[in-house]
């Protein structure tokens, strides 16, 4: 493309119009959540930007720029790449089984030279795109109740089984519940939903006893009775609950949390950063951050509601479901209401992989908003 084409007034005008359609209030809310994360990371590092806070701010800044760039991509492009992204993610998960790197007893990574990544993160987006595209071309009757439901069930089951085998139970749960949320939103019959819940409850006990790895089973048993091993497997949950309770209504004060500052709280910068927040800012601080999360979820769902195409609605809603599940699972885990499964609090916790995944998803949500009037037919696609 020539310089003249890049500076053509029509091109600039279209770009300006697209940028004006981005939900900048949504960007502000995400920035406030990430800013709260940076404050907590600064605090628990002993009032230092290193080793976490500075990187957290830098990553978020780059991710916001990337999100806005992805928002400029026509929703029909997302539609065109939906199945390819899913297939590539599935092939990479198979590659993990064959040649993946093993770390801390789990085979979850692929390495290319000095670069390594977890293909399961790609599948979090791939399952949303693929199911949204599938249901875009499916009749309401088939989506409600028919043998065609075996197709999305298989699409969900394949990556879930591969990720669970790595083993990565937390990510497998996220993919499963995100997929289930999209299937329900697409119009699944309540009879099937009720039967699915009953089946799930029936298979959980034998799954825990005979399928889970020993350390995963121990996590479940520890969740049920953390005080049975307070200095071992129950240590994480008990220290988290102590931090939550000791904060009281207003907290101990910024930088004054004993559990985090004295390193009693494990993984204080990632999985248990919400407990750190509770200790230093109390109930009021936790509710304030949860209100920001609720606002982000509401605005993302509003985007799904106003989108004209079924694909954009389901893609935006599915992405929002993933984000919501991150919050619910981490919150329940920190409060001792769910087993510890290694799911961080998005935007608040330290870590580039989850932030990148979430912000790519929000790039899709903003693309659905910017191109909400675009008509996406079954055979649509720019690629």
Least confident of 180-194, 204-218, 354-368: 204-218
Helix (H, G, I), strand (E, B) or coil at 130: helix
93 and 110 both lie in a single domain:
yes
Whether the predicted pLDDT of 325 surpasses 80? yes
pTM for this predicted structure: 0.89
In a domain, 1, yes or no: no
In a domain, 14, yes or no: no
170 and 226 both lie in a single domain:
no
In a domain, 33, yes or no: yes
b/e string for 210-246 if b means 16 or more Cβ within 10 A?
Answer: eebeeebbbbbbbbeebeeeeeebbbbbbbbbbbbeb
62 and 80 both lie in a single domain:
no
Q: How many domains does the chain have?
A: 2
Can the peptide bond before residue 167 be classed as cis, meaning omega within 30 degrees of 0?
yes
**Confidence (pLDDT) at 11:** 62
**Confidence (pLDDT) at 378:** 67
113 and 128 both lie in a single domain:
yes
Q: How far apart are CA 222 and CA 361, in angstroms?
A: 33
258 and 296 both lie in a single domain:
yes
In a domain, 162, yes or no: yes
191 and 235 both lie in a single domain:
no
DSSP annotation string for 261-294: HTT-STTTTTTTHHHHHHHHHHHHHHHHHHHHHH
**Confidence (pLDDT) at 353:** 85
**Mean pLDDT score of the chain, rounded to an integer?**
87
Q: Which domain holds residue 177?
A: 76-206
Rank 183-187, 322-326, 335-339, 342-346 by mean pLDDT and report only the highest: 322-326
Q: Which percentage of the chain shows pLDDT scores above 90?
A: 51
206, 239, 263: which is the final residue of a domain?
A: 206
219 and 132 both lie in a single domain:
no
Whether the predicted pLDDT of 237 surpasses 70? yes
b/e string for 2-30 if b means 16 or more Cβ within 10 A?
Answer: eeeeeeeeeeeeeeeebeebbbeebbebb
367 and 221 both lie in a single domain:
yes
**Confidence (pLDDT) at 79:** 95
Q: How confident is the model over 87-106, as pLDDT tens digits?
A: 999 999 999 988 888 776 77
φ, ψ dihedrals at 248, nearest 5°: 65, -160
Q: Region 132-159: what's the mean pLDDT? A: 87
67 and 81 both lie in a single domain:
no
206, 232, 256: which is the final residue of a domain?
A: 206
146 and 182 both lie in a single domain:
yes
In a domain, 3, yes or no: no
User: 250 versus 219: which is more confidently predicted?
Assistant: 250
- Alpha-carbon Rg for the chain in angstroms: 22
158 and 82 both lie in a single domain:
yes
**Confidence (pLDDT) at 8:** 53
187, 206, 225: which is the final residue of a domain?
A: 206
Q: How confident is the model over 263-320, as pLDDT tens digits?
A: 788 888 888 999 999 999 999 999 999 999 999 999 999 999 999 999 999 999 999 9
Confidence of residue 6 (pLDDT cuts 50, 70, 90): very low
328 and 342 both lie in a single domain:
yes
């Amino acid at each position: 493309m020539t310089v003249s084409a890049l500076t053509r007034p029509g091109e600039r005008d279209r770009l300006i119009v697209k940028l004006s359609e981005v939900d900048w209030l949504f960007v502000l809310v995400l920035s406030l959540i990430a800013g709260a994360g940076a404050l907590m990371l600064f605090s628990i590092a002993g009032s230092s930007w290193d080793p976490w806070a500075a990187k957290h701010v830098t990553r978020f800044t780059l991710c916001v720029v990337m999100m806005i760039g992805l928002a400029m991509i026509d929703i029909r492009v997302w539609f065109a790449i939906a199945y390819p992204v899913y297939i590539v993610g599935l092939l990479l998960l198979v590659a993990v089984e064959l040649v993946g790197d093993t770390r801390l007893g789990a085979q979850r990574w692929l390495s290319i030279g000095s670069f390594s990544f977890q293909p399961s993160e790609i599948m979090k987006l791939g399952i949303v795109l693929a199911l949204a595209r599938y249901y875009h071309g499916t009749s309401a009757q088939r989506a409600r109740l028919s043998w065609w439901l075996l197709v999305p069930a298989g699409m969900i089951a394949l990556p879930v089984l591969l990720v669970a085998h790595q083993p990565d139970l937390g990510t497998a749960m996220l993919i499963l519940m995100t997929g289930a949320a999209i299937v329900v939103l697409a119009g699944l019959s309540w009879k099937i939903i009720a039967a699915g819940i009953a089946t799930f409850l029936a298979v959980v006990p034998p799954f825990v006893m005979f399928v889970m790895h020993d350390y995963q089973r121990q996590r479940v048993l520890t969740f049920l009775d953390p005080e049975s091993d307070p200095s071992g497997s129950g240590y994480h949950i008990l220290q988290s609950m102590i931090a939550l309770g000791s904060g009281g209504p207003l907290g101990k004060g910024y930088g004054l949390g004993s559990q985090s500052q004295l390193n009693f709280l494990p993984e204080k910068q990632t999985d248990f950063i919400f407990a750190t927040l509770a200790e230093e800012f109390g109930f009021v601080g936790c509710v304030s951050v949860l209100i920001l999360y609720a606002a982000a979820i509401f605005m993302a769902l509003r985007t799904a509601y106003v989108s004209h195409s079924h694909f954009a609605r389901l893609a935006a809603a599915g992405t929002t479901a993933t984000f919501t599940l991150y919050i619910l699972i981490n919150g329940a885990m920190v409060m001792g209401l769910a087993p510890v499964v290694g799911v961080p609090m998005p935007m608040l916790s330290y870590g580039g992989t989850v932030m990148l995944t979430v912000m790519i998803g929000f790039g899709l949500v903003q693309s659905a908003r910017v191109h909400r009037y675009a008509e996406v037919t079954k055979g649509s696609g720019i690629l």
